[in-house]
Amino acid sequence: MVDVLCTSPSLSDAPTRRALARMLAHALNRTFSDDESTTQLAQEHLSWIVARCMEHREATESADALARIAGTVTGDDKVAAQLRVLSDWRVASARLSDEDLDVLGQLLEGKAVSSARMIARTCLQPFPVHLPVHCTDAWSVVLYLLRRNALPTGLPVFLVFLEHLAPELEAAAKDELRAWADSYAQSQGLQEQLAGCRARVKATPAAPRTERTGRVMFVLLADGLDEDYCVLQVWHQDGQSGQSPPMREGDERVRRHDLGHHVHQRLQQSLADIGRPAALTVEFWLPLMLANLPVAQWCRPARNAAGTSNYRVVVRSLDRDSLETTHSAWKQQWDQLIAGHDSGTQDPAPDTETLPGPPAPGRLLVLNTPPDREEGRRQLLDGIRAGAPAILWHRSDCTSRSFRQHVRDLTKGSLADLPARLGELQHQSDSLGTGPLSDLTLLWDDPNQPRPVLKALTSPDAVVPL
């Protein structure tokens, strides 16, 4: 730990090191005495800080506190991540021998960098694991999972992960890893449970090698106490719904004026957790009164190395379930929209006063007034009630020639690719903060991707401690 701390340039300054010592002492509710930082070299002082920290009888708590506070004091995420891995290793060393850890380290360190996190989350259903950002490869994931209790079957979660990871490794490494797992299971009397797990892994067909997809879902709910505030729920999902369950992050009570800052910050946190998939859809589940928020500007999409859009920003309706809408009509219109080859739009001519009627099957409904105005809100509500799965508008002017031209450009080709085309069109603009492109808003209600809900809690009696 001292060696890792020494790599941070900011800790070469005595005041920064003293701040680290004070914050650690406060976090651990202890007093660090005999501080000789004024006469010690940086490495000596850091050694003294680590020694005082680890004198605490709860060594794991102390190591976790050191990683957390060092990251705060230095602002160095790399240092914090390395310290977290070392903290996990301290826990793991109490459960596995040094020889076992050496074997696993040699087999797993630096392996499955792109897939380890997804494997861990999918293989442990219905007990999904929220992985910290320092879990970046198979080795760091195993160390973290060694902190977790066993599944109800008695099988440790890290062993389940290893069984699902093995097919991703080269043949020699896979055989050696399974041999180690067999030996460990025999020593713990878990041969039957391990055999059952391995059989399920072999019976599961390999997932097709497609580009990774992801979803980040922001759900805005009324605060109930103050209309200037709302509750922000954040979920993220790495891969398709059948492959990986959505993970819920902490809720947050946010002033509406500050939503943009909080959304951008939480989006970056979600990306750090799920990585940067090739195709990311950012969904905003909004009530009718908030449908015209500048969600695309909040996300500030970027381009990836291949030049395609990383962010596909869409709006989802929170009101659809509470309205008199038949789900069969919604599903039918969605199927026709996705399957249709002759795309089109349904909107009134901009120089008429007629309003949109019920959406035609397989068509995109285009509003002629933004939904923050009474007329536009009525149009949006009528479209949702009629089961329209795709609705497009401009946040300030739905009648301009430029908006109508953008609509024509977006509807060239299959409507199934509409979110991707909208993202690309917005990325072609020099600035997403200004101009008409940043104000294009798409409601894209896929009935096959519902809003995630909390599952029933698992009784502590259902978890088998080690």
pLDDT value, residue 181: 93
Q: Are residues 169 and 304 in the same domain?
A: no
Q: How confident is the model at residue 391 (pLDDT cuts 50, 70, 90)?
A: very high
Q: Are residues 226 and 276 in the same domain?
A: yes
Whether 453 is in a domain gets the answer no
Q: Is the pLDDT of residue 304 over 70?
A: no
Q: Are residues 244 and 393 in the same domain?
A: yes
Whether 457 is in a domain gets the answer no
Q: Per-residue pLDDT averaged across 111-123, rounded? A: 77
Overall domain count for the chain = 3
Q: Are residues 177 and 197 in the same domain?
A: yes
Q: Are residues 281 and 245 in the same domain?
A: yes
pLDDT value, residue 220: 92
Containing domain of residue 170, as a range? 98-203
pLDDT value, residue 183: 93
Q: Are residues 77 and 137 in the same domain?
A: no
- Under a CB-based contact definition with an 8 Å cutoff, are residues 194 and 185 in contact? yes
Mean pLDDT score of the chain, rounded to an integer? Answer: 80
* Single pTM value for the model: 0.58
pLDDT value, residue 9: 86
Q: Are residues 218 and 198 in the same domain?
A: no
Q: Are residues 81 and 102 in the same domain?
A: no
pLDDT value, residue 356: 43
Q: Per-residue pLDDT averaged across 433-460, rounded? A: 73
Q: Are residues 218 and 287 in the same domain?
A: yes
Whether 390 is in a domain gets the answer yes
Domain boundary among 33, 61, 90: 90
pLDDT value, residue 296: 87
Q: Are residues 231 and 296 in the same domain?
A: yes
Q: Is the pLDDT of residue 340 over 60?
A: yes
State the Cα–Cα distance between residues 368 and 398, nearest whole angstrom: 5
Q: Are residues 224 and 178 in the same domain?
A: no
Q: Is the pLDDT of residue 274 over 70?
A: no
Whether 299 is in a domain gets the answer yes
Whether 463 is in a domain gets the answer no
Q: Are residues 164 and 251 in the same domain?
A: no
Whether 218 is in a domain gets the answer yes
Whether 466 is in a domain gets the answer no
Q: Is the pLDDT of residue 326 over 80?
A: no
Q: Per-residue pLDDT averaged across 388-395, rounded? A: 93
At 348-368, the pLDDT tens digits run 434 433 344 455 666 899 999
